[in-house]
Structure 1
Amino acid sequence: MSDKEKTEGIEETVAAENTETVTAAEDAEATTDEEISEEDRLREDLAKEKEKFLRLFAEFENYKKRTSKERIELFRTAGQEVMVSLLPVLDDFDRALKELSKSDDTEMFKGVGLIQNKLKETLKSKGLKEVAVKEGDVFDAEVHDAITQIPAPSKKMRGKIIDVVEKGFSLGDKIIRHPKVVVGN
């Protein structure tokens, strides 16, 4: 073999090795790209799952707060139906005491008054409160229930309560019966 042939053989071998090296480098680069894209995909999946978890956790916390608030409200107004059904009894006591005050029988008046006070105190201990309304108060449509309007006896009484027909009651913060009033116009 001549030097020329040897040189050509070496060049072919080097060229072949360079081709294999370039191919190997490209393969390694492609593998690295696949690994990076695989790693990025896993990171994205992890971020999505974290977000789902956080949303689910926040939704559960809101559910717990809402049910707790509903439960407290239920306990607060649990006896509302019973209270509303006893309000006419309180009205009857007021009417009975009004009529008994006209008679001479003071012992009966005292007895009925004691029973009325006992009932009122029992209901008060359960959260029932009388809505304070008196003649001359300013009419408030959110609190009072106007059953009629009459001409005001004076200019000062326009838009004010002239008479309270029926007392109002609240249970906690909620009005369960609005006071029925007559308003001057």
Structure 2
Amino acid sequence: MFKKIFKNMSQENTENIEKDNLMDDNVSENQETAQEELSVEEQLQQELAKEKDKFLRLFAEFENYKKRTSKERIDLFKTANQEVLQAMLPVLDDFDRAWTQISKSEDDALVKGVELIQEKLKSTLVAKGLEEVELKAGDVFNADFAEAITQIPAPSDELKGKIVDVIEKGYKLGDKIIRFPKVVIGQ
């Protein structure tokens, strides 16, 4: 009888142990499944974070592109007239030389007409952004704003290292010098 009881108990223990093992296996399978689900979720979170980062970088790059192209467009509009204005500078110089001779004329109608044309030409060029670089005899020479053609002995001590004469006027378009004034400096 004890044997039977012991056998039953041992069978029950074996069954309980097997049930416990099965439960442990189920728990560990559930834990593995949960871990797999967590790892899949973590992977998805990481992929989402990577995609967000790519998106932010792409967006920032696009914003920089827009700013750069708008700045380039503005610069282009500012200097779009540069070639035309540079081509007009010799005509303006010739007109100034002609004006010097015509202003000595006795014919008031001619002087008045040429003066009106000259003023209209200059005002049109100024409206397009052309400005004269203001230099005169006695100004200090600066190589960043003028081109020295030659040096001559200074007529006075005050003119040493300074501009003695302006041979050709200089012009700028906005902040950019498109033709440097040509000057003679005292030595």
**Shorter-chain TM-score tier:** over 0.9
Paired residue for 2:100? 98
1:165-176 aligned within 5 A: 165-176=167-178
Aligned match of 1:181? 183
Question: How far apart are 1:7 and its partner, in Å?
Answer: 0.7
The structural deviation recorded for 1:147 is: 1.2
Distance in 2, matches of 1:159 and 1:55, equals 55
- Map of 1:110 onto structure 2: 112
Which residue is equivalent to 1:76?
A: 78
Instruction: Out of 43-52 and 157-166, give the one that drifted further.
Output: 157-166
Question: Unpaired runs of 5+ in structure 1?
Answer: none
Return the letter of the residue paired with 1:152: A
Query: 1:100-140, CA deviations, whole angstroms, 9 ceiling, x for partnerless residues?
Result: 23443343233222211110011111111111111111112
Matched, 1:31 2:33: yes
For residues 140 and 148 of structure 1, the distance between their equivalents in structure 2, rounded to whole angstroms, comes to: 14
Where 1:159 maps in the other structure, the secondary structure is coil
What pairs up with 1:14-163 in 2 under 5 angstroms? 14-163=16-165
> Offset of 1:155 from its aligned partner?
3.1
Taking only the aligned residue pairs, the percentage that are identical comes to 57
Question: Alpha carbon RMSD of aligned pairs, Å?
Answer: 1.5
Gaps of 5+ in 2: none
- Equivalent pair of 1:149/1:184 in contact (CA under 8 Å): yes
Contact 1:166/1:179 (<8 A) preserved:
yes
Opposite residue 180 of structure 1, the aligned amino acid is K
Letter in 2 for 1:128: L
More deviation in 106-115 or 66-75? 106-115
Q: Distance in 1 between matches of 2:152 and 2:50?
A: 68
Q: TM-score, structure 1 length as denominator?
A: 0.93
The structure 1 segments of at least 4 consecutive aligned residues displaced by more than 6 Å after TM superposition are none
Q: Deviations over 1:40-71 (max 9, x none)?
A: 11111011101110111111111111111111
Task: Decide whether the 8 Å contact of 1:93 with 1:112 is kept in 2.
Answer: no
